[in-house]
Amino acid sequence: MAGAEESGVTIELDQTFVERGMVLDQVVAEVVAQVHRKTGGPVDVAWVRELVEAQWSRHDDARVRTFLPVLVRRAVVDRMLSA
């Protein structure tokens, strides 16, 4: 665990949780950019985040996670473009 100190209070952060959040942020940004390029219209970032998190959670028990961001991004983009 990594620690962060703010205002004299130490906060312990689970490194896996932090990395997951950064990866999810990246996937959300990529989905938004890809859907915007394909549709030319505005993209609801909150909806994208919801879809990414839901799709990601479907793979919580995956042992190999290397390609998970690609799988999640592809599934969410496909779902958004077919909606």
pLDDT for the residue 26: 93
* Long-range contacts, stretch 26-31, CB < 8 angstroms, 24+ apart: 26/69, 27/52, 27/56, 27/69, 27/72, 27/73, 27/76, 28/52, 30/73, 31/73, 31/76, 31/77, 31/80
Ordered domains of the chain (ranges, CATH): 17-82 (1.10.8)
**Looking at residue 36, what is its pLDDT?**
96
Structural contact between residues 39 and 81, judged by C-beta atoms closer than 8 angstroms: yes
pLDDT of amino acid 1: 43
Residue-wise pLDDT tens for the chain (83 aa)? 444 444 555 545 444 555 677 899 999 999 999 999 999 999 999 999 999 999 999 998 888 888 999 999 999 999 999 97
Predicted local confidence at residue 46, as pLDDT: 97
